[in-house]
Structure formats: structure tokens, C-alpha cells
């Protein structure tokens, strides 16, 4: 009756009932489960995203990060363009000068993490759940699908079960069936690997959003706030220290007998708002100073000033500026007046903190070479070089994602080791007055075959001195 009414009802023909399948797919929840999640869980998508992350990470390593506009204009000119297209404009537009903080790189990381999460819940966890469920074989033909299978005498079942226990198999018994397994760690390993990679990605993203990096050049004997921020995330405000400053008690350099730099050292103190020292440590390269989640690295050095004395005058501290050396080395210089009206003076040059200073007159002629603590006569006065004042170059940074990253790498190593464990399964069935036995494993096939044969040999009765035609041959393992 309903069909007839619907057939002759003009309103019904004008508004037909929508297709049930199409309606369900159009629903957001169904689209998420049936379309979006399977795409995210696809291994091919994860591989493409991983390759993209590797490619852009390589570009961030090859291309200098965080340099000035003039640097990129000089090294990546428009004509000729590197590789025919890579110019300084392309670098700046695409954000290749700060790859790891760009929105698109963070988006790739988030998408890759989402893909790993979907794969874990769609594939790995169901596989683990299926592996944990014991299942018994009820029919002999089920053994034909196994990689290894054979038949034994029913009397060998107790010895075979004992052999399985000795080989650390977990055994489940039914009325006529036995299921044994071991190596569940190998099923958990991939899940741990996925979780570790997600943890690493979260650490990278969190560090990019909340971390900062600053660079400070602080002369020895002075105090400075952390102010020269060169890179920071949008939520990095709480990490930047505002209630303490850094005091450089002393900076010095150890040199080798050949005159080469051996190591930089900085004796640093953390000074609070009340000008009280709250922490102190001497740092050098590869030995940073950590305070309240902020790490101070020894990164560079410079010469800030030279302290001189003219005759019996008070000690004067003259700032030294970096100069361009002809051979590309490092050079610092300053001008020291030798007359009160500044009408005459000398130029002091030095290349390091070893204390050697070269003195030039107004005509550019070499006057003398002195060391700290020594004097020389120039323009009818005595000029004494008291001390060279060095500056320590500190890289100050905070990355709240580092603990997550380290934990992720620890889990990654653990999960990789766990993944090497083989998940082996063995079934027994008593049917037709025979004992059917078969097994399979997901890796280390040869090792499993050897273990399988050894267990069969343990259950085979020893040969007696009976005639050859009465002896029973050992069981043959069929590899299907």
C-alpha cells in the first residue's frame, strides 16, 4: 500500500527519499571514520611525510639559518641563481632562512604525528589485540595453511607440552586443542616506536612554540641582561629571564704551545634583582651552564677594550673594534690620544688575548710591539699596556621540548630492540587418532624452524634394536 501511495503521490515523486549510503557518508562522523582516518593511517602517506621532513631538515642544515638580509643577498644573488631558481628572495618568501620555525614545517610535523597516531589505533593496537587472543584449531585442514606442520602419535602430547614450556611458550589448553605463543614483546615494539616518534614530534613542536635563543657579547667584569633575542616562539615569554642577569667575573683563553686557541673559559654568576649572586659556574665549549631551564653556552669571544696608562695618568680603558684583516683572520684596533687636545695619537692593534699589542704612529709606521705590563715611548710620552679586556660570546637558549625529545629517543631505542623479538605461535590438535602440530612466526624463520624441529626430536622415542622394518621413522616436517 505504501509503495502504491508513494508511486502516485506527486509530492513523494518530487522529493524522493535520499540514498541511505550517500546520506551516511555525508555525515561528518562517518566521513571521519570511513574516509579521513584510513587515509591518515596509510603507510604511503607516512613515508611521503617522513621524506618531506628529511628533505626540509637537510635544507635547514645546508642553508644558513637566521642570518641577516645582507648575508642572503650576498650569498644567494638573483643572477646567477643557485640551481637556476634559488635566490635570496625565494629563500625569504619560503622561509628557508628559518625552516624549523615556519608554519608549513610545523604543519608537516603535526600531520605526520596525526598519521602515526591513526596508524597506531587503526593497525597496531588491533594487531596487538588479535595477537593476545588465543585461538584453537578445531579441524585438521587448518594446519595446511601453516608454514610448518606435521603429525605425531597422541602419546607424545604431554612431552610436547613440556617442551613448549621449557622454550618459554605461554600455553592455553582446550579439550582437544592446545595453543602456545611467545614473543608478545615483538608486537608491542612497533607501538612503542610509534609512541616515541609522536613524543619526539610533540617535543619539537612545543620547543618551537615556547623556546627562545639569544646571543650576548659581554665584556669581562660586567653584567648584562638577556635582551638580544634572535629567535623565539610565540609563547616563549615566560621562558625569557627578566628577574636575573649574567655577570662575567672573568673570561680567558688557553693557548697551545704553537699559539693556537685551545679552549675558552668564562667564570659566570647569576645575579638576581637584589644584586645577589644566586648561582656561579665556570663554563667552556661543550660544558654549558644551566639555570632555571635556561642554558648558557660558550659560543664565541672578542676583545672589548685595552687598558693603557700614559706616563703617570690614571689607567684609561679604550674600547677596541673588530677590523677586517687582510688574510681573513680576526683583528681588533683602537686609537689612543697622546696629547690632551687629541691632536696626536697612536693606533693599537692586536689579534688575540695573549697580550701582544702592535703600536703604529699617525703615518702608519710601526713604532713598537709590546706585551701587557710593558711600556714603550711614543710621541715623547710613555705608553703602558696594562691589560687586554676580553668579551665572552654566550648563546643563551631555552627549549622546554628537550625533555620530551630525549624521552622519545630513549623510547625509540627501547621499541626498536623490542621489535626484534619474534612472535611465534604453535597449535596442537587431537583428531582422527593423531596429534596434529603446526606453527608460524613473523620473523627469524630459520631460528623458529630449528626450535620447532628440536622440540619434535625431544618428544620422539629413542630407537631400539628392533629390525629395520619395525622401526618408526622420525616425523617429517612439511613446509607448505
Digit-coded pLDDT (tens) for 60-94: 888 888 788 888 888 888 888 888 888 888 888 88
| Residue 242 and residue 264 in contact, taking contact as beta carbons nearer than 8 Å | no
Q: Is the peptide bond before 447 cis (omega within 30 degrees of 0)?
A: no
Beta bridge pairs of residue 251:
266
CA distance 168 to 181: 9
pLDDT tens readout for residues 432-466: 889 999 999 988 899 999 999 999 888 876 655 44
Domain end call among 88, 106, 124: 124
Query: Is 73 part of a structural domain of the chain?
Result: yes
- The rounded mean pLDDT for the chain is 85
Query: Is 17 part of a structural domain of the chain?
Result: no
| Residue 116 and residue 46 in contact, taking contact as beta carbons nearer than 8 Å | yes
Same domain for 242 and 154? no
Same domain for 225 and 205? no
Q: Output the pLDDT for position 390.
A: 92
Residue 388 clears pLDDT 80, i.e. is over it:
yes
pLDDT tens readout for residues 316-350: 999 999 998 777 788 999 999 988 888 889 999 99
pLDDT tens readout for residues 163-219: 999 999 999 998 889 999 998 888 898 899 999 999 999 998 899 889 999 999 999
Same domain for 45 and 194? no
CA distance 130 to 28: 29
CATH code of residue 173:
3.30.160.110
Q: Output the pLDDT for position 462.
A: 60
Query: Is 321 part of a structural domain of the chain?
Result: yes
Same domain for 296 and 230? yes
Q: What does pTM read for this prediction?
A: 0.70
Same domain for 162 and 290? no
Residue 479 clears pLDDT 50, i.e. is over it:
no
Same domain for 242 and 294? yes
Q: Output the pLDDT for position 32.
A: 67
Specify burial of residue 446 (Cβ count, 10 A radius: 0-12, 13-18, 19+): exposed
Contacts made by residues 172-178, CB under 8 angstroms, sequence distance 24+: 172/134, 172/136, 174/136, 176/429, 176/430, 176/431, 177/136, 177/137, 177/138, 177/427, 177/428, 177/429, 177/430, 178/136, 178/427, 178/428, 178/429
425: pLDDT confidence band, cut at 50, 70 and 90?
very high
480: pLDDT confidence band, cut at 50, 70 and 90?
very low
Same domain for 157 and 90? no
Query: Is 129 part of a structural domain of the chain?
Result: no
Same domain for 241 and 302? yes
Number of domains in the chain: 4
Q: Output the pLDDT for position 123.
A: 84
Q: Average the pLDDT over 274-300 and give the result.
A: 93
Same domain for 370 and 261? yes
Q: Output the pLDDT for position 468.
A: 46
The torsion region of residue 259 among left (phi > 0), alpha (psi -120 to 50) and beta comes to left
Which structural domain range is residue 451 located in?
Answer: 134-183+422-461+473-479
Query: Is 1 part of a structural domain of the chain?
Result: no
Same domain for 332 and 232? yes
Query: Is 68 part of a structural domain of the chain?
Result: yes
Query: Is 20 part of a structural domain of the chain?
Result: no
Same domain for 342 and 451? no
Same domain for 271 and 374? yes
CB atoms within 10 A of CB 317: 14
Query: Is 16 part of a structural domain of the chain?
Result: no
How many angstroms separate the Cα of 208 from the Cα of each of 117, 181, 201?
Answer: 21, 45, 11
Q: Average the pLDDT over 275-280 and give the result.
A: 94
Q: Output the pLDDT for position 363.
A: 86
Amino acid at each position: 500500500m505504501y509503495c502504491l501511495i508513494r508511486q502516485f503521490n506527486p509530492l513523494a515523486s518530487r522529493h524522493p527519499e535520499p540514498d541511505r549510503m550517500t546520506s551516511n557518508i555525508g555525515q561528518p562522523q562517518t566521513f571521519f571514520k570511513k574516509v579521513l582516518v584510513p587515509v591518515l593511517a596509510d603507510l604511503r602517506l607516512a613515508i611521503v611525510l617522513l621524506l618531506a621532513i628529511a628533505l626540509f631538515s637537510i635544507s635547514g642544515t645546508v642553508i644558513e639559518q637566521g642570518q641577516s638580509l645582507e648575508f642572503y643577498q650576498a650569498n644567494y644573488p638573483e643572477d646567477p641563481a643557485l640551481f637556476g631558481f634559488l635566490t635570496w628572495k625565494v629563500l625569504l618568501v619560503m622561509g628557508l632562512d628559518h625552516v624549523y620555525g615556519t608554519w608549513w614545517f610545523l604543519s608537516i610535523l603535526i600531520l605526520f604525528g596525526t598519521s602515526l597516531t591513526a596508524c597506531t589505533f587503526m593497525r597496531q593496537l588491533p594487531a596487538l589485540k588479535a595477537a593476545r587472543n588465543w585461538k584453537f584449531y578445531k579441524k585438521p585442514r587448518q594446519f595446511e595453511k601453516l608454514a610448518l606442520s606435521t603429525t605425531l602419535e597422541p602419546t607424545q602430547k604431554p612431552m610436547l607440552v613440556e617442551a613448549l614450556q621449557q622454550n618459554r611458550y605461554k600455553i592455553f589448553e582446550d579439550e582437544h586443542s592446545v595453543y602456545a605463543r611467545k614473543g608478545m614483546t615483538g608486537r608491542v615494539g612497533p607501538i612503542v616506536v610509534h609512541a616515541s616518534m609522536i613524543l619526539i614530534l610533540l617535543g619539537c613542536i612545543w620547543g618551537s612554540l615556547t623556546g627562545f635563543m639569544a646571543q650576548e657579547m659581554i665584556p669581562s667584569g660586567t653584567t648584562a641582561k638577556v635582551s638580544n633575542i634572535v629567535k623565539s616562539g610565540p609563547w616563549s615569554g615566560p621562558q625569557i629571564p627578566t628577574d636575573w642577569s649574567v655577570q662575567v667575573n672573568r673570561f680567558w683563553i688557553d693557548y697551545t704551545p704553537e699559539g693556537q686557541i685551545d679552549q675558552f673559559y668564562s667564570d659566570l654568576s647569576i645575579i638576581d634583582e637584589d644584586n645577589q649572586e644566586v648561582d656561579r659556574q665556570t663554563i667552556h665549549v661543550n660544558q654549558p651552564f644551566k639555570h632555571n631551564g635556561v642554558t648558557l653556552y660558550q659560543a664565541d669571544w672578542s676583545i672589548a677594550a685595552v687598558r693603557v696608562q700614559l706616563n703617570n695618568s690614571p689607567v684609561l680603558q679604550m674600547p677596541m673594534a673588530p677590523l677586517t684583516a687582510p688574510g681573513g683572520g680576526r683583528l681588533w684596533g683602537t686609537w689612543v690620544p697622546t696629547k690632551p687636545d687629541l691632536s696626536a695619537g697612536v693606533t693599537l692593534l692586536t689579534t688575540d688575548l695573549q697580550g701582544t699589542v702592535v703600536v703604529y704612529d699617525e703615518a702608519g709606521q710601526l713604532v713598537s710591539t709590546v706585551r701587557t705590563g710593558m711600556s714603550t715611548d711614543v710621541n715623547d710620552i710613555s705608553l703602558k699596556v696594562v691589560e687586554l679586556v676580553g668579551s665572552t660570546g654566550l648563546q643563551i637558549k631555552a627549549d622546554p621540548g628537550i625533555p620530551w625529545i630525549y624521552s622519545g629517543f630513549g623510547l625509540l631505542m627501547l621499541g626498536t630492540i623490542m621489535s626484534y623479538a619474534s612472535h611465534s605461535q604453535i597449535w596442537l590438535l587431537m583428531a582422527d587418532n593423531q596429534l596434529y602440530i603446526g606453527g608460524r612466526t613473523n620473523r627469524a624463520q630459520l631460528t623458529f624452524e630449528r626450535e620447532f624441529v628440536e622440540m619434535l626430536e625431544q618428544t620422539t622415542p629413542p630407537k631400539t634394536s628392533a629390525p629395520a622394518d619395525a622401526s618408526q621413522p622420525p616425523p617429517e616436517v612439511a613446509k607448505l
